[in-house]
A and B are shown apart, each in its own frame.
Chain A
Amino acid sequence: MIQLKNIYKEYRTGDIITKVLNDICLEIRKGEFVAIMGASGSGKTTLLNIIGCMDRPSKGEYILDGICVNKLKDKKLSEIRNKKVTFVFQNFALMEKYTAFENIELPLLRRHLSLHERKKIVTDVAKQLGIEEQLYKRPKQMSGGQQQRVAIARALASGADIILADEPTGALDHKNGLEFMNLLQQLNKQGKTIILVTHDKEVASYASRTIHILDGRILENV
């Protein structure tokens, strides 16, 4: 379970202080499918990065499965990013120089697994997502939809129960976008907790709860 208590985040660039998140309180239970909606610049990505332990709040408490995350050292945070939460980014965030296989394998490299074990996990998720033909291609040689599948395969390979998706359909055409949302819904039914950032109403409608955010504050909890 994710609990955010009075989270603030501000960035300092020289003398200018940008307040990005203002007193965010939020609870997300295991197995939920939550959409976070809001205008560009409202702080959605910042919020997701804090939940994903890519960033630390300036103030406030973040509790993940009973562990107070904001007190943890970098090493512990990296373990959370490796095992507990995982990302799907808008721009796919695949490593260009590496094949799909190597991209999907990435979270497994931080564990003590043999090549054989890694190969098994990667081919299993690739089969599940229908990209086993693409495994030895590089991102540039694949379509957008295929790249996003590789990105989700990487998230699944990590085995993490919480999937954070930052505008995952933003770089896809309508048809691929909806296909991708169906996939997320399916994963949610299999028990994954999904937190999705979007500014598309249709995309948000796949979620079971929508949170609106405006200028770093949560508006309503419908």
Chain B
Amino acid sequence: MDNYKILKLNVLFAGIVIICSAISIISVLSVSVLLNKKEYGIRIAFGYTKKSIMKSIFFEVLLLQIIAVVLSFIYVYYSYVNSKISAFNLIYLSTLRTYSLISLIVLLMVFLAIVMTVPLYILSRYEPAMLIKEEE
């Protein structure tokens, strides 16, 4: 019963962390899209499509997230391997390897989709001619 409560608390905590980080990543990405909009406009003027620019922003963020996920997975995995606690270690590790890994990947996809929507929507609303305009 006690273990169950701790687990529930952990899930709650993880949920809060995920939501907070999603919000902060969304705002950072939105600001960065706005800061770079002139560069996007220049690229479009010389032969890029808006789609190709959105695609490259998406893959840039995807790459960063994959790096983050791999690092955190490795960290958690080895902290289990090295912990002395118990008989449960084997179960933990096998859940990590199977169930957790898959849900992690699904979570990453969902997280990425949610996080990318806002900045890409902001960018999509600009006409190419508007992007390049100087505003001071």
Which residues of A approach B to under 8 Å, CB–CB?
45-46, 49, 52, 54-55, 74-75, 78-79, 81-83, 86-87, 89, 91, 93-97, 106-107, 110, 154, 158
Q: Which residues of B contact A81 (CB under 8 A)?
A: 44-47
Looking at the assembled complex, report how far the CB atom of A166 sits from the nearest CB atom of chain B, in whole angstroms. 10
In contact, A158 and B46 (Cβ under 8 angstroms):
yes
In contact, B46 and A95 (Cβ under 8 angstroms):
no
In contact, B45 and A55 (Cβ under 8 angstroms):
no
Does B51 sit at the interface, judged by CB under 8 A? yes
Looking at the assembled complex, report how far the CB atom of A62 sits from the nearest CB atom of chain B, in whole angstroms. 14
Nearest residue (CB) in A for B50 is: A74
Does B119 sit at the interface, judged by CB under 8 A? no
Q: Which of B46, B49, B129 has the most CB of A within 10 A?
A: B46
Nearest residue (CB) in B for A50 is: B129
In contact, B132 and A93 (Cβ under 8 angstroms):
yes
Q: Which residues of A contact B129 (CB under 8 A)?
A: 45-46, 49, 54-55
User: CA separation between A86 and B42, bound complex, in Å?
Assistant: 11
Q: Which residues of A contact B50 (CB under 8 A)?
A: 74
Chain B contact residue count (CB 8 A cutoff)? 19
Does B48 sit at the interface, judged by CB under 8 A? yes
In contact, B45 and A87 (Cβ under 8 angstroms):
yes
In contact, A95 and B47 (Cβ under 8 angstroms):
no
Q: Which residues of B contact A107 (CB under 8 A)?
A: 46-47
Q: Which residues of A contact B44 (CB under 8 A)?
A: 54, 78, 81
Looking at the assembled complex, report how far the CB atom of A210 sits from the nearest CB atom of chain B, in whole angstroms. 24
Q: Which of A78, A83, A96 has the most CB of B within 10 A?
A: A78
The 23 listed contacts between A and B (C-beta, < 8 Å) are: A54-B128, A74-B49, A78-B44, A78-B48, A81-B45, A82-B46, A83-B47, A86-B46, A87-B46, A89-B45, A93-B42, A93-B132, A95-B42, A96-B39, A106-B42, A106-B43, A107-B46, A107-B47, A110-B47, A110-B48, A154-B46, A158-B46, A158-B47
Nearest residue (CB) in B for A45 is: B129
Q: Which residues of B contact A49 (CB under 8 A)?
A: 129
In contact, B48 and A54 (Cβ under 8 angstroms):
no
Q: Which residues of A contact B42 (CB under 8 A)?
A: 93-95, 106
Looking at the assembled complex, report how far the CB atom of B50 sits from the nearest CB atom of chain A, in whole angstroms. 7
5 A-B pairs closest in CB distance: A82-B47, A110-B47, A55-B129, A107-B46, A49-B129
